Amino acid sequence: MATIFREYDIRGIFDKELKADVVFNIGRLLAEEILHTNLPPMVHIGYDARVHSPTLFEWLKAGFVSKNVQVYHLGMIPTPVAYFATFNTIDGITCPHSVMITGSHNPPQYNGFKITINQMPFYGQSIQKLGQKLLSTLSQNPYPKDLNAPHLTLNALESYTQYLSNAFQSLKDFPYPVAIDCGNGVGSLGIESVLKKLNITYTPLYFKPDGTFPNHHPDPSEEENLRDLQDLMKSDSIPIGIAFDGDADRLALLTKDYHYKGDELAILFAREMKKHYLNPIVIGEVKCSQVMYDEINKIGKALMYKTGHSNLKVKLKEENAHLAAEMSGHIFFNDRYFGYDDAIYSALRALELFLSFTPEELEKEILALPRFYSTSEEKIPTTDEQKFALIDALAQKLDNPPKDFPKIIDIIRIDGLRVVFENGWGLLRASNTTPVLVSRFEAKTQEDSVLYQQKLLALLEECRTNPTPKA
């Protein structure tokens, strides 16, 4: 059960790992964390469309109420609405803490908790310590079935959509039709009323929230999940497409012939920000293309940091940067917004790009960038117990690589190993959420990209079969 306590959130299988006693104690221990802040003892809780989310809400709420923490129920909402509630007064209530019950883009049997305390993500060592404490005290605190656990209801969703409608008046009567795929997640609950208020012509796809995800998996970073959207755009001659993940904190942007990756969107957004800031600061993660870092450094400052929405939110605040971006479609705006990943807000910022460019012109902007040959993000199965050990073993082998290994210019160890070669780079890192290693390769020529991939993966395989002994 310890594996449910992950780097960025808590996530597991409903009623197998996330049982009543476990979830009650998560609420109880998070209540203690809130009480330690010396801020008012209250918390916002919302949930996504998964069929077991309301049950988890009752179990989690009971944990908070057992410690006399007031629960404000936000109902079924996109994840960014829970974040929004911590930065804004909702129905007269100001509360900087929230828990979003969501399994994000995981299969339907999964669920979990994304936690914000005092407007900051609760993650990393904080989650690990909470997990250790829970495991040691679980038997002492069973779920009290007879506990009267009241809550108050707040309409954060209405405040959120009104905020966006006011903030994006520039998009009123938008000149292009848009196709939007919500993947039966909760994105429609946030985007639809805004589109209507701004008189944006849109064609909805899978707008009805359904936690069984009957049409396709709600992960817009996987090309196969975009096929229905692409077919709709083609059949109805719609020039712009947007897709959300299950809880609407990640997006994909498409035009007729192009699917924009997160690092490419960062370049486009940074160029727009250059109109208002002398040196826009943008944070990318270790999987982002070198092209992104080079292009943003021409107009501002680009920083590389760890993968993960919690990591980037914290780094964004530390650096007072304007923007952060992940390849997977998490986009964080600290410019004109609150610095968290909100795919609905980001989608509206993306539509603003088309006030300066036609869809065809925007494609040309990206196609005019230096072209590198890159692999997609590939996942190498392993185990949660082995994944970090394999990266450590690979690091030791890279200190004394084989004679036929490509020349190493640098090794960036921010998050895994980003090995910089003469004409490109290769990345291997342990996923913080699943039992896999993640790889990506990029080079000036396809031959070099293939070479770097072959050599680095061969060295990784040697680590599996013949690990370097620890000194």
Which active-site residues does the annotation give? 11, 104, 330
Do β-strands 110-117 and 42-47 pair in parallel, antiparallel, or remain unpaired?
Answer: unpaired
Q: What is the DSSP string of 427-461?
A: EEEE-SSSSEEEEEEEESSHHHHHHHHHHHHHHHH
Burial class (CB in 10 A: 0-12, 13-18, 19+), 228: middle
> Considering only CA atoms, which of 238, 243, 209 is closest in space to residue 226?
243
Taking the C-alpha atoms of residue 435 and residue 448, their distance in angstroms, rounded to an integer, is 29
Whole-angstrom distance, CA of residue 63 vs CA of residue 58? 9
Instruction: Tell me whether strands 281-285 and 301-305 are parallel, antiparallel or unpaired.
Output: parallel
- From residue 420, give the alpha-carbon distance in Å to each of 63, 413, 417, 456, 471: 48, 11, 9, 11, 25
Q: Order of strands, edge to edge, in the sheet holding 301-305?
A: 301-305, 281-285, 323-325, 331-333
Residue pointed to by tokens 């849109």: 202
In angstroms, rounded to a whole number, what is the distance separating the alpha carbons of residues 429 and 436?
Answer: 9
First to last CA, the chain: 32
The string over 188-210, giving b where at least 16 C-beta atoms fall within 10 Å of a residue's C-beta and e elsewhere, is bbbbbbbbebbebebebbbbebb
Burial class (CB in 10 A: 0-12, 13-18, 19+), 318: exposed
The enclosing H or E element of 110 equals strand 110-117
**Smallest Cα–Cα separation from 114: which of 349, 341, 335, 286?**
341
Q: Which residues contact 355 (CB under 8 A, 6 or more apart)?
A: 170, 171
Give strand pairing partners of 252. 243
